[in-house]
């Protein structure tokens, strides 16, 4: 979840909303890669989720990282809720999932180095506390009642709202983890092309990275329960966004979409003010019931943009949001896939051709098939395994064209190897875990913690 945005004066003209997005445009040489991933913490002695407070806790983890590795604390109402250092942030999801929002870097080699350093720091603190962290798309055993709530005002408001608008919102907040990558665009036209490819091919990422086949201690009938949750959450702010594929789509159309999404909150003086269900359009007119007479700032607009949750979204960059969290190799493979598909123009054009002509039903059908069946899914005659093989091959060509040497590698293509291995067998992490559950684990999911721990 995003932290409160900073800076920006009052919004005096509607054009400022689109201008805010356009302000993210960068020349190709300034494009960067920002990778985010979440992970579940647990106590090794009883395999329960970490509370916020206590000897073995999220707070103890944050304080340990602060004291031993020079992170600057981020606090809310006197409680430490995050860390910052050198352009990177460590933050908390509602149920205590520990998230690294990496610094913007130039190459995937730097992404891998940043990840390795972060997991090494986390492991050092965790060992001293007797806790561990694991990468999965959904908590496989813990019930909703077992999950703690982190001390962030935003989460208290969202928890109350989720029961009003869908069936699985609180599961999303407290019992899921993702890996995503944030990528730049050079112009409005470039943004449009990238966002269309991103949305159309999110089902490929969902299938390749599916790692959430369990819930409440048993199989849940899905390869990616996390993706299934997003299909049953809040229709006003999720989905595949058919309007993006219509002629004329651009910054203004995105603004219209976000303006129609009901608000969650307004952040003022260190606290979250309840604006649940209210309209940002009313806010622009000074008619927001939560703050009568006030007009929003650009920071309010930036905050509101973080409360839309489609499969890919625009802020001042594009976020790819379709993948479950996973092991180290998968945490680098996700940015490798999207950098390969979108940061080389020939690869981006090939990806655009791959998805050209699909209708809304095909895109949505692939999304649902990926969550349910992983690489075995299909929709409207398109098999996800075949589609994924084509997408990964295009990504490989894009990374080869980038020709970025580093980390002892001639280029960045090796980070896709884990995906090629899955395509060769048709099995992803969820399939492997289900086979172990039905085989050597004999239905005992206590083994999954050691199996998936970093």
> Read out DSSP for 93-143?
-TT--EEEEPPPBSSHHHHHHHHHHHHHHHHHHHHHHTEEEE--SB-SS--
At 157, the pLDDT band (50, 70, 90 cuts) reads confident
pLDDT of residue 333: 98
Q: Look at residue 125 in the predicted model and tell me its pLDDT.
A: 98
- Residue in 252, 309, 327 with CA at minimum distance from that of residue 2: 309
List beta partners, residue 378. 383
* Mean predicted confidence (pLDDT) in 297-317: 97
Buried b (16+ CB within 10 A) or exposed e, 23-54: eebbeeeebbbbbbbbbbbbbeeeeebbbbee
List the structure tokens of 335. 């940015």
Say yes or no to pLDDT of 3 above 70. Answer: no
Q: How many CB atoms lie within 10 A of CB 286?
A: 12
Copy the structure tokens of residue 430.
């969820």
- Alpha-carbon span 204 to 367, nearest angstrom: 8
Between the alpha carbon of residue 295 and those of residues 115, 199, 404, the distances in Å are 40, 33, 46
| pLDDT (mean) for 106-111 | 98
pTM of structure: 0.96
Greatest Cα-to-Cα distance within the chain, rounded to the nearest angstrom: 64
pLDDT of residue 452: 97
Residue 311 has pLDDT above 70, yes or no: yes
Which letter does DSSP use for residue 376 in this model? G
pLDDT at site 237: 94
Q: Considering only CA atoms, give the Rg of the chain.
A: 21
Residues 225-243: pLDDT tens digits?
A: 999 999 998 999 999 999 9
Which stretches of 325-378 are DSSP H helices? Answer: 328-342, 345-355, 360-373
Sequence-separated (6 or more) residues with CB below 8 Å from residue 82: 3, 62, 73, 74, 89, 90, 91, 92
Structure tokens at 62: 């944050």
Q: Map residue 268 onto helix, strand or coil.
A: strand
Q: Average pLDDT, stretch 282-299?
A: 96
pLDDT at 391 (0 to 100): 99
User: What pLDDT band is residue 4 in, cutting at 50, 70 and 90?
Assistant: low
Delimit the domains of the chain by residue range. 15-442
38 strand-pairing partners? 99
Q: What is the pLDDT of residue 294?
A: 96
Task: Provide the CATH topology of domain 15-442.
Answer: Creatine Kinase; Chain A, domain 2 (3.30.590)
The stretch 177-206 carries a mean pLDDT of 98
Q: What is the mean pLDDT of residues 162-184?
A: 90
d(CA 313, CA 241): 10
Q: How confident is the model at residue 9 (pLDDT cuts 50, 70, 90)?
A: confident
Contact status, residue 207 vs residue 426, Cβ threshold 8 Å: no
Average of per-residue pLDDT across 424-430: 98
**Enclosing H/E stretch for 42:** strand 33-43
Whole-number average pLDDT of the chain: 96
Rounded average pLDDT over 141-147 = 96
Token pair, residue 247, equals 């002629």
Q: Could you give the percent of the chain with pLDDT greater than 90? A: 92
Q: What would the pLDDT profile of 13-25 be if each residue is shown by its tens digit?
A: 999 999 999 999 9
292 in Cβ contact with 58 (< 8 Å): no
Helix, strand, coil content of the chain in percent (nearest 5): 45, 15, 35
Cα 417 to Cα 258, 323, 422: the distances in Å are 37, 17, 9
Q: Is the pLDDT of residue 2 over 70?
A: no
Residue 6, pLDDT above cutoff 60: no
Question: Coil, strand, or helix at residue 302?
Answer: helix
Going by C-beta distance under 8 Å and a sequence separation of 6 or more, which residues neighbour residue 263?
A: 275, 276, 277, 278, 279, 280, 283, 288, 304, 307
Whether 381 has a pLDDT exceeding 90, the answer reads: yes
């Amino acid at each position: 979840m995003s932290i409160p945005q900073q800076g920006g004066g009052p919004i005096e003209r509607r054009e400022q909303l689109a201008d805010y997005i356009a302000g993210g445009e960068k020349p190709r040489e300034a494009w960067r890669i920002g990778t985010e991933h979440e992970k579940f913490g647990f106590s090794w002695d009883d395999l329960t989720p970490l509370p916020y407070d206590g000897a073995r806790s999220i707070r103890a983890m944050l304080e340990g990282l602060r004291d031993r590795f020079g992170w600057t604390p981020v606090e809310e109402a006197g409680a430490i809720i995050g860390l910052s250092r050198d352009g990177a942030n460590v933050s908390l999801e509602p149920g205590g999932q520990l998230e690294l929002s990496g610094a913007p870097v130039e190459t995937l080699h730097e992404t891998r180095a940043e990840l390795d350093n972060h997991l090494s720091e986390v492991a050092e603190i965790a060992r001293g506390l007797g806790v561990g962290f694991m990468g999965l798309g959904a908590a496989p055993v813990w019930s909703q009642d077992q999950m703690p709530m982190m001390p962030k005002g935003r989460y208290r408001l969202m928890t109350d709202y989720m029961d009003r608008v869908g069936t699985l919102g609180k599961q999303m907040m407290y019992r899921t983890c993702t890996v995503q990558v944030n990528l730049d665009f050079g112009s409005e036209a470039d943004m449009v092309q990238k966002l269309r490819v991103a949305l159309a091919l999110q089902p490929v990422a969902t299938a390749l990275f599916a790692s959430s086949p369990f819930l409440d201690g048993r199989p849940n009938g899905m390869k990616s329960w996390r993706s299934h949750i997003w299909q049953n959450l809040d229709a006003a702010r999720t989905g595949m966004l058919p309007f993006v594929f219509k002629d004329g789509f651009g910054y203004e159309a995105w603004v219209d979409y976000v303006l129609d999404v009901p608000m969650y909150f307004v952040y003022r003086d260190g606290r979250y003010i309840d604006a649940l269900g209210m309209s940002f359009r009313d806010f622009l007119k000074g008619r927001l019931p939560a703050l009568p007479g006030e007009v929003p700032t650009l920071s309010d607009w930036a905050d509101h943009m973080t409360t839309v949750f489609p499969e890919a979204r625009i802020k001042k960059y594009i976020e790819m949001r379709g993948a479950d969290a996973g092991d180290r190799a998968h945490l680098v493979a996700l940015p490798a896939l999207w950098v390969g598909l979108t940061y080389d123009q020939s690869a981006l054009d090939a990806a655009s051709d791959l998805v050209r002509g699909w209708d809304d039903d095909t895109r949505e059908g692939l999304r649902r098939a990926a969550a349910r069946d992983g690489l075995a899914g299909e929709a409207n005659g398109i098999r996800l395994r075949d589609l994924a093989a084509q997408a990964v091959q295009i990504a490989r060509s894009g990374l080869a064209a980038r020709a970025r040497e580093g980390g002892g590698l001639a280029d960045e293509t090796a980070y896709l190897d884990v995906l090629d291995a899955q395509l060769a067998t048709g099995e992803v992490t969820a399939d492997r875990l289900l086979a172990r559950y039905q085989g050597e684990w004999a239905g005992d999911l206590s083994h999954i913690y050691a199996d998936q721990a970093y």
